[in-house]
A = this chain, B = another copy of it.
Amino acid sequence: MRFTISQEVMSGIVSRAQSVIERKSTRPILENILLSCKNGKLTLSATDLRISMIQSVDCAVDEEGAVSITGKKIHEIVKEMEPGEIIIENRENEWVTITGGKSTFHLPGVSEEEFPTIPEAPETFLEISSDVFGQMVSRTLFAASNDETRIYLCGVFLKEWTDDKGDAFLKMVATDGHRLSLVDRALEKPLNLFTEGIIIPKKGVSELKYIISQGGENFEIAFSDGRLFARIDGVMLGITLIDASFPNYNQVVPDFTGQGIMVPCNSIRDALRRVSILSDQETRSVVMEVTGSEMVLSSDNPTFGDAKETLDVDYNGPHIKAAFNANYVMEIIKVMEDDAMRIEIKDSLSPALFVGCDKDSEFMSVVMPMRID
């Protein structure tokens, strides 16, 4: 194998592949990237066995062939090399030589045969808006769980549905058991791909979000044999889905009381940031109390003291008092595009609803309240 490629292009694709592979694996081959040259193209493959990425770029191929090398080292090397052409070639005993400028590097490679097989993508792909998908991920991913003992919560749930008028929508939901985030977005036309619903693991969602953020207006998606495939600008991402049932989120989302508290997002975010300084370090509990058009946020920490702040809100309902993890509420506001949101609190024990007021009215979060001492 021998090919010539620009340092800039190589650095870009290696950096992307690097994000998929395992940092420290019990199987060293999973720390490798496969370089494969054929028909004037370099193909880079990386996998952690659950997520795979294949990238193809044009390059000057002098000799076809393939070999895998440590992703971490080739990434560091290519990134630091001088701009201009670099030559990568495969010598005897699978050693790989990288030359460019006045530098030469030799790295031990591993033969192509030892590299894991990457599942093949189906033939048919459907187009989906990168912007819509990216927005949905931003509004849900933060609420997914890290608790691997409940693997069905460690990802985002994606489901296509149709309303009475026959219009198609995508729904994305994530929950860690303490809070839940849900967003719907209209599809230009039905995909008929996720009508049963799928759970995409967190790492896969992050990779997907990253590659679509770097690409054009749309990307292509396919679903086959428990795997989701995404294709954009010469990159093919394969994600093994979580094989489990997602909990019935409809049971968790409370009915609207109709008595919403309208509150400016920036004001409540800044107030929460201040008041939570003196909240319990573990629970981050902040009490929210609303009387007429005044909301009082307060915290009390046995060691460090207490804090209180008042806010003007728009509300006509009865007196309400409930406590929430301030971080959960701040995370919702962080991804909400609207200037104001509506909060619906039934009582101090029921889950509360946080909903966008304008463009984000299809985005809602449910947060379980905390015990008030």
Q: A316 contacts the other chain (Cβ, under 8 Å)?
A: no
> Given A82-B270, A270-B82, are A308 and B103 also a contact pair (CB < 8 Å)?
yes
CB distance from A249 to the nearest CB of B (A): 34
* Chain B contacts for A105, CB-based, 8 A: 274, 277-278, 305-308
CA A209 to CA B108, docked complex, whole Å: 46
Taking a contact as CB atoms under 8 Å apart, the answer to whether B103 and A275 are in contact is: yes
Give the copy number. 2
Q: A107 contacts the other chain (Cβ, under 8 Å)?
A: yes
* Chain B contacts for A283, CB-based, 8 A: none
CA A309 to CA B99, docked complex, whole Å: 10
| Interface magnitude class on chain A | 20 to 34
CB distance from A334 to the nearest CB of B (A): 16
* A303-325 interface (Cβ within 8 A of B): 304-311
Q: From A267, which residue of chain B is reached at the shortest CB distance?
A: B102
* Chain B contacts for A307, CB-based, 8 A: 77, 103-106
Q: A151 contacts the other chain (Cβ, under 8 Å)?
A: no
Q: From A273, which residue of chain B is reached at the shortest CB distance?
A: B80
* Chain B contacts for A274, CB-based, 8 A: 77, 80-81, 103, 105
Residues of A within 8 A of B (CB): 70, 73, 76-77, 80-82, 95, 101-108, 270-271, 273-275, 277-278, 304-311
Some 19 contacts from A to B, beta carbons below 8 A apart, are: A73-B277, A73-B278, A73-B304, A76-B277, A77-B277, A101-B309, A102-B309, A102-B310, A102-B311, A103-B271, A103-B275, A103-B307, A104-B307, A104-B309, A105-B277, A105-B278, A105-B307, A107-B278, A108-B305
Beyond the given pairs A77-B277, A106-B306, 11 more chain A to chain B contacts, judged by CB atoms under 8 angstroms and listed by A's residue number, are: A70-B304, A76-B277, A77-B278, A80-B273, A80-B277, A82-B270, A102-B271, A103-B309, A105-B274, A105-B308, A108-B305
